[in-house]
Amino acid sequence: MPSPETTPEPGPYRRAYAEAAGDPEAFWLAAARALDWDRPPERAFDGTSGPYGRWFPGARLNACHNAVDRHADGARRDQAAILYDSPVTGTKRTITYGELKAEVATLAAVLAGLGVGPGDRVVLYMPMVPEAVFGMLACARLGAVHSVVFGGFAANELAVRIEDAAPKVVLAASCGVEPSRVVAYKPLLDAALDAAAHKPDACLILQRPQCAAALTAGRDRDWAEAVDAARAAGATAPCASVAATDPLYVLYTSGTTGKPKGVVRDVAGQLVALAWTMPNLYGVQPGETYFCASDIGWVVGHCYIVYAPLVHGCTTVLYEGKPVGTPDAGAYWRLLSEYGVVCLFTAPTALRAIKKEDPGGDLVARYDLKKFRSLFLAGERADPDSVAWAERVLDRPVIDHWWQTETGWPIAGNPIGLETLPVKRGSTCVPMPGYDVQVLDEGGKPVPAGTMGTIAIRLPLPPGCLPTLWGSDERMRQSYLSTFPGYYDTSDAGVIDADGYITVLGRTDDIINVAGHRLSTGGMEAVLSAHPDVAECAVIGIRDALKGEVPCGFVVLKARVERDPAEIERELVAKVRAEIGPVAAFKLALTVPRLPKTRSGKILRATMKRIADAEPWTMPATIDDAGALDEIGASLKGRGIGAG
């Protein structure tokens, strides 16, 4: 045992984590000073409200003021707030903070004229265009609650969200633009409104030149005409003062069937948490340019395209394009160079797509990345091989971090703004201040370091996490708080090692039971992805009469691999047997052209498993390419598995 004189002082991260654990009131009240308040909080937490408590009770503020007005009315008026880059339409636009305030205040006046006020809901059904951000911020300006539905979502899924949120107004675009097609949104919206029992008072439709939409008389308004009329009349709307605990937005969990779960995000908790992460986790300072390559339809887009960078006074990149194909696998590197981006946040799926098309990383050398400092990954488990590839070709820190729609900001990561901790590939590093993360067994007891179990977070959750589900405290308790009393159940499986590093191995339903042995499909995926010819992969457990379940691996090969796929499949089976052991019973690897994914990049493992097990399944509303599931079925059928 070292003496006190030789015990190293804890670093900045350990000190911050200890402060948040030891005195959360003081820690979060200090973090709250990053915001402007109409009525500052006198205390941080009220444990008597809601399913587990509420943050910053009694305080008042406005999210739009904090994201826009305070910068537009100050030294950042002429700084770029949004850099819109749309290779699919050949459009670029720079919007300063001053211009952003004018746009948002005018649109807010239009919404107010349609009857929208504090507490009212507004559904947005929009592509990645500046008007979508204007719409979110205009709602926040009025104290209304926005609910963004991913553009192009199926009509029935949009309908159930409209039914649940009961919006006064819907904001929509006439279409979305993909690299190879135009997706008409208005017919989908019309079908959703026909199906939904709730009818909004009005729809504001942004007509895009790629596909104009027919407007429904008495309900639909032309967005540009309404805004132009308000601007000509000098109409603007001020920022409404709202309670810190009021909802900022409702975001429905993707892939939901039946009644959707509307994750509520309160105003102050979200802004305080996001403002803390920008300098401390991502190491980004006000005035710098930040690029989050997500979509505003997902939680990552809400948080790190819109609110976090704008609240922090950064310039945010709004990208309507793809990581490959618009025009090539150097698309992201072009953006980093052109806009002087210091930090990129994207999904492992995007990184694997880039690696597949440009395995040597040759396109990186075309661009000047001198301002670029770090790459953050989240959304799916970042396989160690892809992390190593990105480290090699970018020569920058590559940080895997982990969070959920429900938490609203990262649970775990490498806080490079405080200090850069050693990277362990495959791990999402350490918990962020405010998160007491435990790994529990099926009985709810903490397991020893290095032992796999369910990852849970001791209550209360920190600011920024969901306080409840829309319209149902009881459903919140049943969905997240009942499995392990006193904890939030993440439904993710993983381990925490002796250094406190968290490794997320997959959803708890991705843990398969092979002849009584609980095995992680994520661990097998890590082995497969390390093969030099593999671009990406997925492992599922399929039903087996003898062992209960056995793993099956699907792999997509890198571009320009010309070897016999059957030979590669044999190598993969041997590799898993050598690195995990015969206990895995891994005997089947299938090469496929692509993996079926949601539009947010998550692999549809559950649907793949139903196909393999010959169970009934339906086409997920969130799927990006339905043909990929047909290919999975055909590959399985070729081996005598499933019903296709």
- Please report, for residues 154, 160, 431, 510, the alpha-carbon distance to residue 260 in angstroms, rounded to integers and kept in the order given: 14, 7, 29, 22
Do 432 and 291 fall within a single domain? yes
Mean pLDDT estimate for the chain: 92
CATH assignment of the domain containing 549: 3.30.300.30
Structure tokens at 506: 């997959």
Amino acid 468 reads T
Q: What is the DSSP code (8-state) at residue 211?
A: B
Do 588 and 454 fall within a single domain? no
The predicted structure's pLDDT at residue 3 = 41
Task: Note whether 281 and 31 are within 8 A (CB).
Answer: no
Do 602 and 462 fall within a single domain? no
pTM of the full predicted structure? 0.85
The predicted structure's pLDDT at residue 520 = 72
- Collapsed DSSP state (helix, strand, coil) of residue 555: strand
Do 455 and 596 fall within a single domain? no
Strand order, beta sheet including 220-222: 220-222, 202-206, 169-173, 121-126, 145-150, 247-252, 262-266
The predicted structure's pLDDT at residue 254 = 53
CATH assignment of the domain containing 218: 3.40.50.12780
The predicted structure's pLDDT at residue 256 = 36
Task: Report percent pLDDT > 70 for the chain.
Answer: 96
Opening angle at CA 296, ends 152 and 160, nearest 5: 50
Cβ neighbours of residue 518 closer than 8 Å, sequence gap 6 or more: 452, 511, 512
The predicted structure's pLDDT at residue 73 = 98
Residue 558 placed within a domain: yes
Domain boundary among 464, 495, 526: 495
Residue numbers of the chain with a pLDDT score lower than 50: 1-6, 255-257, 644
Residue 387 placed within a domain: no
Do 457 and 564 fall within a single domain? no
CA-to-CA distance for 91 and 194, rounded, in angstroms?
Answer: 34
Structure tokens at 565: 């796929």
Structure tokens at 317: 């990149």
Buried-exposed string 30-50: b where 16+ CB fall within 10 A, e elsewhere: ebbebbebeebbeebbeeeeb
Do 487 and 566 fall within a single domain? no
Residue 456 placed within a domain: yes
Which H or E element spans position 300? helix 299-301
State which residues form the domain around 591.
515-638
Do 215 and 111 fall within a single domain? yes
Buried-exposed string 173-211: b where 16+ CB fall within 10 A, e elsewhere: bbbbbbeeeebbbbebbbebbeebeeebebbbbbbbeeb
End-to-end CA separation in angstroms for the chain: 61
Number of C-beta neighbours around residue 218 at 10 A: 6
Residue 280 placed within a domain: yes
Do 456 and 542 fall within a single domain? no
Amino acid 225 reads E
Residue 143 placed within a domain: yes
The predicted structure's pLDDT at residue 64 = 98
The predicted structure's pLDDT at residue 257 = 40
Q: What total number of domains does the chain contain? A: 2
